[in-house]
Amino acid sequence: MNKKLAAVASGLFLIVFGIETVKIGGSFTPQSQNISLIGRELFGNYVVPFELLSLILVAGIIGMFYISWRDN
């Protein structure tokens, strides 16, 4: 793999991530500490994004293993 291209891509990612993080406004202080409410929201209203995120993470882990196995 081209190490210069990987360095440029990771640098660009960090720059964009930093800019977007700074642009986030609002307060991150939780209004309540009700864990059951969080669970109901996560597995109720947000079940599809939660499952899609889990698939993306599993695909990333499998891809990481494939890339590390292929280089050796």
Confidence of residue 72 (pLDDT cuts 50, 70, 90): low
* Residue spans per domain, the chain: 3-25+32-71
Considering Cα of 11, then 12, then 17, then 18, what sign does the dihedral take? positive
Highest mean pLDDT among 3-12, 17-26, 28-37, 49-58 belongs to 49-58
Q: What is the pLDDT confidence band of residue 7, given thresholds at 50, 70 and 90?
A: confident
* Max Cα-Cα span within the chain: 50
